[in-house]
Homo-oligomer: A and B are copies of this chain.
């Protein structure tokens, strides 16, 4: 190994916006001999998971657990509710908004994509306006990402629900929460979402390989008339067999062991504490970035993401090379850049099982790495983040003392 390289020394600082660092407690729960997926022990495990996951989506309806990554749950949401040629309204908030649209096209849906400059979230007014124009109710579904992972923009789901209602439009409302679930507040039932797509490898802290569909009664109704072909992602077989704690085909047993622990850990900390922690660490990250004089990709603070912050490098500095250098020198990974901004930004994930100390380490390391790479920053960003975290902990301490 080259001198001063930390590539394989110490803990890796995994700051991609997911898969997030898997807690040792979850890894250990999954490092276990296989059991019979049709036996009594399995049924108990599955029921704990099927019940527990509802508390994460804040729904009383069933949640489908897929053995597939989030992309699969996207497909489940569309194919279980829609028919070939149905019109869906989507928003290109970034790479993943674009990819979901691409999927809908492939599945034979008619997509309408509302463009953005990739630097913002979904504006409820735009949705309301477009739906209001759709007098014939040709639009069958509105699909948005709660958090656009590729750019770091959070969209206001409750407000978008209101916008749909204000337009008096009957379209299904589908929301992707892959990189927001269990990291920031989300309320499937209260916010009137019809299908919520979620993944396990972010806020739930599992390895990739599991995803979810939370479903409203309206979506279940739509399912009855939906004609898109589906089998692996079919809800009905799942709903039937899940009742007795089983699955229509071999589930990912070890992932369920992990899910059981992930849900338990979230409740041990308390969901509101989890969300507050994400907000705090996200703000610390933005404070550092702004101090450095670097631009945050998301232009409008009201859309700032609590889970990932995309940071633009100045012209002439390649973000991919920066990431490679940081990985080699400091054993830290950042998220890649996409689309019109490919090579121009890097993303700092601050989600999942991450604490203040780790984020301070990440930000200090990032500051040093940026300087080492020759980016003309104003140093002191990590210090500014530390000051902020001190103030937050100080306030909490004071409050606890009162």
Question: Which residues of A line the B interface, CB within 8 A?
Answer: 1-6, 8-14, 16, 18-22, 24, 27-28, 30-40, 67-72, 74-75, 79, 84, 99, 103, 106-108, 199, 201, 207-209, 228-234, 248-255, 268-270, 273, 276-277, 280, 324, 327, 329-333, 336, 353-358, 360-365, 367-368, 371-372, 379-380, 382-383, 386-387, 389-390, 392-394, 396-397, 400
Q: Is A30 a contact partner of B31 (Cβ separation < 8 A)? A: yes
A353 to B8, CA, bound (A): 9
The closest CB in chain B to the CB of A22 belongs to B34
Kindly list the 7 A-B residue pairs having the minimum CB-CB distance in the complex, ordered from nearest.
A361-B361, A10-B355, A209-B252, A360-B364, A71-B249, A31-B31, A4-B396
Q: Is A392 a contact partner of B67 (Cβ separation < 8 A)? A: no
Q: Which residues of B contact A106 (CB under 8 A)?
A: 229-231, 234
A175 to B60, CA, bound (A): 41
**Within the complex, what minimum Cβ distance (angstroms) separates A73 from chain B?**
9
Q: Is B11 a contact partner of A355 (Cβ separation < 8 A)? A: yes
Q: Is A360 a contact partner of B365 (Cβ separation < 8 A)? A: yes
A187 to B86, CA, bound (A): 43
The closest CB in chain B to the CB of A371 belongs to B390
Q: Is B16 a contact partner of A21 (Cβ separation < 8 A)? A: no
A268 to B18, CA, bound (A): 29
The closest CB in chain B to the CB of A363 belongs to B364
**Within the complex, what minimum Cβ distance (angstroms) separates A17 from chain B?**
11
Q: Is A16 a contact partner of B36 (Cβ separation < 8 A)? A: yes
**Within the complex, what minimum Cβ distance (angstroms) separates A187 from chain B?**
21
Q: Which residues of B contact A209 (CB under 8 A)?
A: 67, 209, 252, 254-255
**Within the complex, what minimum Cβ distance (angstroms) separates A37 from chain B?**
7
Q: Is B36 a contact partner of A14 (Cβ separation < 8 A)? A: yes
**Within the complex, what minimum Cβ distance (angstroms) separates A379 from chain B?**
7
Q: Is B393 a contact partner of A368 (Cβ separation < 8 A)? A: yes
**Within the complex, what minimum Cβ distance (angstroms) separates A98 from chain B?**
13
Q: Which residues of B contact A331 (CB under 8 A)?
A: 355, 357
Query: Most B CB atoms within 10 A — which of A9, A37, A331, A372?
Result: A9
Copies in the complex: 4
Q: Which residues of B contact A1 (CB under 8 A)?
A: 268-270, 273
Q: Is B336 a contact partner of A38 (Cβ separation < 8 A)? A: yes
Q: Is A333 a contact partner of B252 (Cβ separation < 8 A)? A: no
Q: Which of B31, B333, B362 contacts A361 (CB 8 A)?
A: B362
A116 to B199, CA, bound (A): 41
Q: Which residues of B contact A360 (CB under 8 A)?
A: 360-361, 364-365, 368, 382
Q: Which residues of B contact A255 (CB under 8 A)?
A: 209
A390 to B386, CA, bound (A): 19
The closest CB in chain B to the CB of A6 belongs to B355
**Within the complex, what minimum Cβ distance (angstroms) separates A10 from chain B?**
3
Query: Most B CB atoms within 10 A — which of A10, A353, A392, A396?
Result: A10
Q: Is B6 a contact partner of A11 (Cβ separation < 8 A)? A: no
Supplied contacts A3-B396, A11-B358, 5 more A-B pairs, CB within 8 Å: A6-B357, A10-B357, A207-B253, A356-B365, A368-B390
Q: Is A9 a contact partner of B207 (Cβ separation < 8 A)? A: no
Q: Is B232 a contact partner of A72 (Cβ separation < 8 A)? A: yes
**Within the complex, what minimum Cβ distance (angstroms) separates A6 from chain B?**
4
Please name 14 pairs of A and B residues whose Cβ atoms are closer than 8 Å in the assembled complex, sorted by A.
Answer: A4-B393, A8-B269, A10-B353, A11-B21, A11-B33, A27-B32, A38-B336, A72-B72, A208-B254, A209-B252, A330-B356, A364-B386, A367-B386, A372-B394
Q: Is B36 a contact partner of A107 (Cβ separation < 8 A)? A: no
Q: Which residues of B contact A32 (CB under 8 A)?
A: 24, 27-28
Query: Most B CB atoms within 10 A — which of A19, A38, A355, A383?
Result: A355
A394 to B208, CA, bound (A): 37
